[in-house]
Amino acid sequence: MKRLSYIITTCFVLLSTLSIAQIKNAKIETAKVNGNCGMCKRTIEKAGNVQNEAQVVWDADNQRASITYDAEKTTVDTVLKRIAQVGYDNEKYLAPDDVYRNLHDCCQYDRKLKQSKPKTKTDEHSQHDHHQGSSHQGKQH
């Protein structure tokens, strides 16, 4: 039984290496991607993988995805957007709430990244003093 397991593992590693070898102009980056289980792994990797363009390997233990991609065909942002669209928050994009709610119960991770939203234009402008140095005071538009 151990021998069969070893053969299957070896075949998997070889197939993974061959698919990565097909990605030209390869860049490799890692990113935080939330998830819990083997079902999450399959969904995350399936969403991120595009033949000859991107290969994603997600590690459940450390919640990190290794993303190998062809820099002339795609970006790491594009891959992370695809992953978010299937329900998995990551360091750059949040999954839509309705998609997250439809994940299987075992796949609904603690949404820690949801709490740290990126600044909106309103937030950026709240830092400015609107009365100081305005050249438009008293003018009608």
- Tens digits of residue pLDDT in 93-119: 999 999 999 999 999 999 986 654 444
DSSP letter (8 states) at residue 118: P
Q: Report CA 110 to chain centroid distance, whole Å.
A: 16
Q: How confident is the model at residue 9 (pLDDT cuts 50, 70, 90)?
A: low
pTM of the model: 0.67
Q: How confident is the model at residue 137 (pLDDT cuts 50, 70, 90)?
A: very low
How many other C-beta atoms are found inside a 10 Å radius of the C-beta of residue 27? 14
In order, the DSSP letters of 35-80 are --SHHHHHHHHHHH-BTTTEEEEEETTTTEEEEEEETTT--HHHHH
Average pLDDT estimate for 73-98: 97
Position 122 scores a pLDDT of 47
Residue 27 pLDDT greater than 70, yes or no: yes
